[in-house]
Amino acid sequence: MAVHAHPDDESSKGAATMARYVAEGHPVMVVSCTGGERGDILNPRLQGNADIERDLPQVRRAEMAKAQEILGVEHTWLGFVDSGLPEGDPLPPLPEGCFALEPLDITTEALVRVIRQFRPHVITTYDENGGYPHPDHIMTHVVTVAAFEAAGDPEAFPHAGAPWQPLKLYYDRGFSRAKMTAFHEALLAAGKESPYAEWMKRWDDRPEGRVTTRIESAKYFAVREQALLAHATQIDPDGTFFSLSASEQGEIWPTEEFDLARSYVPLAEGEDDLFAGLPTDVTAADAMATSDLGDPVLDDVKPRAAEVEHA
């Protein structure tokens, strides 16, 4: 299960990994916490289109349906409203009723219900910075961590379904400085202009996120590209994501990266599979997931709702 803030996030973060697991026969669920209602039209080719601007929320739902079909995943809307990205000095308050301001017990119960229905062994989401500090991304982190903890507790949200404990929680690390540097240097070596210099400048004061797990997924980069392009209002086909072709990206950097933040099974050095360490027998995994597991092996996650309040 991959938990994301907005439609299009699933296609830019871990999409090739999801496509690989779908091709290998694993059920994969994408959860979109919001509908992206307060997003803008980011594709210059579509800006000024009155029909799209008038009905952008529905257009984004249609785009998500197309991306879902391309990736082969299941999908559900968690049902909360986009918080937007406030800008200005002083920073304006978040809009009333938005996802980032919803009570944590409400948002957590909604995700717990989906977890207990789908019963994933592995969940992916963003780190405490949200990947980037959008209030919905930060809230997605907080809610996913809280739901990971609560889903297996029979005393938590008893009306949200039978308990189910996921065994591993990962943070997506798809936009590492090392990867962007490799892309930047490849473009310069080919005599092309690189858009990644500005990205790297923005990371000068940010620590590089830990990577525990590298998923070989170059075979599915073209699928990822098509899923991205399905979000036509949000993705500029002449933009940064397409500075290098899918095949060029595969030659330069053939993996997608994740950080195992919490797990009920040990982490093996050089992990290359999100399901590594899990019981191969599904029945055994089910029994393990619903028993008293004790404390997770890795416990680097501490949900802090206050992070959202000051986003």
Residue 231 annotated as binding? no
pLDDT digits (tens, 9 = 90+) for 278-298: 987 754 445 444 445 777 777
Query: What is the per-residue pLDDT for 286?
Result: 58
Compute the average pLDDT of residues 19-34. 98
The mean pLDDT of the chain is: 90
Query: What is the per-residue pLDDT for 310?
Result: 30
Residue 137 annotated as binding? yes
pTM of the predicted protein model: 0.92
What is the assigned CATH class of domain 2-173+256-309? alpha beta
Residue 75 annotated as binding? no
Q: 132 or 47, which is more confident?
A: 47
Q: What are phi and psi of 226, to 5 degrees?
A: -65, -35
Query: What is the per-residue pLDDT for 40?
Result: 93
Extents of the domains making up the chain? 2-173+256-309
Evaluate if residue 299 carries a pLDDT over 70: no
Evaluate if residue 239 carries a pLDDT over 50: yes
pLDDT digits (tens, 9 = 90+) for 27-85: 999 999 999 999 999 999 999 999 999 999 999 999 999 999 999 999 999 999 999 99
